[in-house]
Structure formats: C-alpha cells, structure tokens
Homo-oligomer: A and B are copies of this chain.
Amino acid sequence: MVKYLDANLDNVFAALADPVRRKMAQSLASGERTMSELAAPFTMTLPAILKHIGVLQKCGIVITEKRGRVRYCRLDPAKLMDAQTWLEETGRFWNDKLQALNTYLESENNENQN
C-alpha cells in the first residue's frame, strides 16, 4: 500500500477545486507565465489573483521566482501526480469491474454478430 501525504492532498485537491486556479494551472501547463499574464484572462483584482497563486504555491503545484519586479510562475507536476495516483488507486477496483463488464458486453456483441 502506498502511504499518501494526506495533509498535502487536502491542499492539492482544494487548490484544484476552483475554476480560476485550474485555468491558471492549464495555462502553466504549456510553460512559464508572469503574474500579469496569469491575471490577464480574468476580471478580478490583482490581490485576488495573488491569493489564487498563493494557494497553488502553498500546496506545491506552482513554483514562483521573482526576477526584477516580475514574478514568474511554473508548474510542478509532481503534486498533480500525487493526486492522480490517489484517484487511480481509489478508482482501480471499480474500473476493473467496469472493464470486465465491458469486455463481457463486447464478447456478447461479437457472438450476436456471428
């Protein structure tokens, strides 16, 4: 059995429970962005944006670095992997069952075609 870093999974899942933060993460999925670039698609004020980035940063999904007056942000996929792993492990039993059912239905379907 895998030992999950449960306390941080709380924060990772909570961070991803907001559409603004998910869109930010998706934006970062293709490369580095500045705070202003991340803020651009949204109408909210900069302090609100800063809070969202703070949430992503605190749980380790996003790493930031300030160069001059600009803060650059990038994704750390390891934390996303933690969440993914939890979902895989939890869903496995049922996915296996569905898989088995699916295989069964397909084989039945093939028999009907013969």
B10 and A13 within 8 A (CB): no
A71 lies within 8 A of chain B by Cβ: no
B14 and A19 within 8 A (CB): no
Taking the full assembly, how many copies of this chain does it contain? 2
B17 and A90 within 8 A (CB): no
CB neighbours of A90 from chain B (8 A): 22, 25-26, 29, 75, 80
B18 and A16 within 8 A (CB): no
A84's partner among B19, B31, B76, B84 (CB-CB below 8 A) is: B84
B26 and A17 within 8 A (CB): no
Q: Count residues on chain A whose CB falls below 8 Å from chain B CBs.
A: 35
A17's partner among B14, B22, B75 (CB-CB below 8 A) is: B14
A35 lies within 8 A of chain B by Cβ: no
A92 lies within 8 A of chain B by Cβ: yes
CB neighbours of A30 from chain B (8 A): 93
A87 lies within 8 A of chain B by Cβ: yes
A47 lies within 8 A of chain B by Cβ: no
Most buried by B among A6, A75, A76, A94: A94
